[in-house]
C-alpha cells in the first residue's frame, strides 16, 4: 500500500479499519449491559421465518461474547504486526516480496545443487538421460504448459514443440537461448502498403501457393510481385523464412495462427505480435539447461 498518491487514502483505510473494530466493541458492550426483563426472556420477538422459525428474546451466550472479544484482540494485534492500516507497514516489516525472496532463497539453497550438476552436461546428453528428462518434464508442466499445452503441441499463437518447425532454430543452443531470454515476434500490418484488401488477397494467394495449395493463379502471380517487394526481407525470396528474425517458413503448411485463407489474410492485413517471456531470472541457468533438454528431446528422441 505504499503507492498511494495522497495521504488521504491511507487515513481513509485506517479510519474504516479502526472504526469497524470500535463499532464492534461498542455493539458488544451496549448489548451486554442492556437488561432484559425476566418475564420477557424466551418470549417471541415477532420475527418469523419459513412459517414457524421465530426469534426469541434470549441474551447472547457468554462464550459467544468472549469469542468476539478474542477476535477483536486478534484483529488489533494483526494490524499492529502486519500491513493493513494504509501505509503503515507493521512492526514486523513483513512484505509479500520479502517472504517470496526468503522462500526462493531457501529453495535455491536446498535444490540448487541438484540442478547445478546438469550444467556440466550437454543438452543432447541430458536429452538421453531418463532422470534428467523426468525433471525437465516437471519443469515444463509447471512453467510452459499454460501456453504450449501439457503435451507441448501448442495452440493458436503458441508454437507446437513437436513438429520440427522452429521459428528461431531448433539447435540446443537456440532452444536454450529462447527459454533463457525470451523472444519478441512482430509481423507488421501490410494492408495499407499492399493497396488494401485486393492486395492482401493477392499476397495471400501467393503465400498459400508456396505450400502447394490450390489457389487462383492470376491472383498468385500478382501477389508474387508484391511479396518480392515487401516480404522477402523477412521470409526470404523462397518463402522459407529466417530463423534469425523468427520469420516463419511459409512453404511447409504449418501455421502458428491458423492456415485458413481468412487467418492468413488477417495475418497479412493486421499483422501479428507474439511474446515468449524470459525465464532466466526465475528459473536460473541450471533449470533452463534441463528444461531445454526436455524440449529438445520432444523432436529428436522421436526420431530414434
CB neighbours of residue 19 within 10 Å: 10
Output the nine-digit C-alpha cell for 94: 513483513
How far is residue 144's CA from residue 30's CA, in Å, rounded to a whole number? 58
Give me the residue label for grid cell 491472383: 219
Q: Say which range, 36-45, 52-61, 151-160, 285-294, has the weakest mean pLDDT.
A: 36-45
The model's pTM is: 0.71
Split at pLDDT 50, 70, 90, the class of 59 is: confident
Residue 304 reports pLDDT greater than 50: no
Alpha helices by DSSP H, listed for 117-152, are 123-127, 130-143, 145-148
How far is residue 190's CA from residue 67's CA, in Å, rounded to a whole number? 68
For the residues of 19-83, what is the DSSP string, one character each?
Answer: HHHHHHHHHHHHHHSS---GGGTT-EEEEEETTTEEEE--PPPHHHHHHHHHHHHHHHHHHHHSS
Residue 45 reports pLDDT greater than 60: yes
How much is the average pLDDT of 145-161? 95
| Tens digit of each residue's pLDDT (9 = 90 or more) over 223-281 | 999 999 999 999 999 999 999 999 999 999 899 999 999 999 999 999 999 999 999 99
| Tens digit of each residue's pLDDT (9 = 90 or more) over 80-132 | 999 999 889 999 999 998 998 899 889 888 888 888 889 889 999 999 999 99
Q: Is 97 left (phi over 0), alpha (psi -120 to 50) or beta?
A: alpha
- Domains (range + CATH), the chain: 7-81 (no CATH), 106-182+277-303 (1.10.760.10), 186-276 (1.10.760.10)
CB neighbours of residue 14 within 10 Å: 16
Split at pLDDT 50, 70, 90, the class of 133 is: very high
Tally the residues of the chain.
304
Amino acid at each position: 500500500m505504499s503507492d498511494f498518491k495522497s495521504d488521504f487514502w491511507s487515513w481513509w483505510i485506517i479510519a474504516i479499519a479502526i472504526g469497524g473494530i470500535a463499532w464492534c466493541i461498542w455493539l458488544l458492550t451496549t448489548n451486554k449491559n442492556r437488561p432484559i426483563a425476566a418475564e420477557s426472556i424466551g418470549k417471541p420477538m415477532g420475527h418469523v421465518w419459513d412459517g414457524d422459525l421465530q426469534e426469541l428474546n434470549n441474551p447472547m451466550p457468554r462464550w459467544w461474547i468472549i469469542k468476539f472479544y478474542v477476535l477483536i484482540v486478534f484483529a488489533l494485534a494483526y494490524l499492529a504486526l502486519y500491513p493493513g492500516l494504509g501505509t503503515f507497514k507493521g512492526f514486523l516489516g513483513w512484505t509479500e516480496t520479502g517472504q517470496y525472496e526468503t522462500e526462493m532463497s531457501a529453495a535455491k539453497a536446498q535444490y540448487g545443487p541438484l540442478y547445478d550438476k546438469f550444467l556440466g552436461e550437454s543438452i543432447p546428453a541430458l536429452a538421453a538421460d531418463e532422470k534428467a528428462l523426468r525433471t525437465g518434464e516437471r519443469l515444463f508442466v509447471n512453467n510452459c504448459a499454460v501456453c504450449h499445452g501439457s503435451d507441448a503441441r501448442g495452440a493458436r499463437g503458441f508454437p507446437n514443440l513437436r513438429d520440427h518447425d522452429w521459428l528461431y532454430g531448433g539447435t540446443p543452443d537456440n532452444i536454450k537461448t529462447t527459454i533463457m531470454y525470451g523472444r519478441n515476434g512482430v509481423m507488421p500490418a501490410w494492408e495499407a502498403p499492399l493497396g488494401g484488401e485486393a492486395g492482401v488477397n493477392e499476397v495471400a494467394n501467393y503465400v498459400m501457393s508456396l505450400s502447394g495449395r490450390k489457389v487462383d493463379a492470376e491472383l498468385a502471380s500478382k501477389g508474387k510481385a508484391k511479396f518480392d517487394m515487401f516480404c522477402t526481407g523477412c521470409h526470404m525470396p523462397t518463402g522459407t523464412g529466417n530463423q534469425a528474425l523468427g520469420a516463419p517458413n511459409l512453404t511447409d503448411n504449418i501455421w502458428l495462427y491458423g492456415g485458413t485463407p481468412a487467418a492468413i489474410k488477417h495475418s497479412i492485413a493486421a499483422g501479428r505480435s507474439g511474446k515468449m517471456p524470459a525465464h532466466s531470472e526465475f528459473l536460473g541457468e541450471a533449470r533452463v539447461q534441463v528444461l531445454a533438454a526436455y524440449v529438445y528431446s520432444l523432436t529428436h528422441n522421436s526420431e530414434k
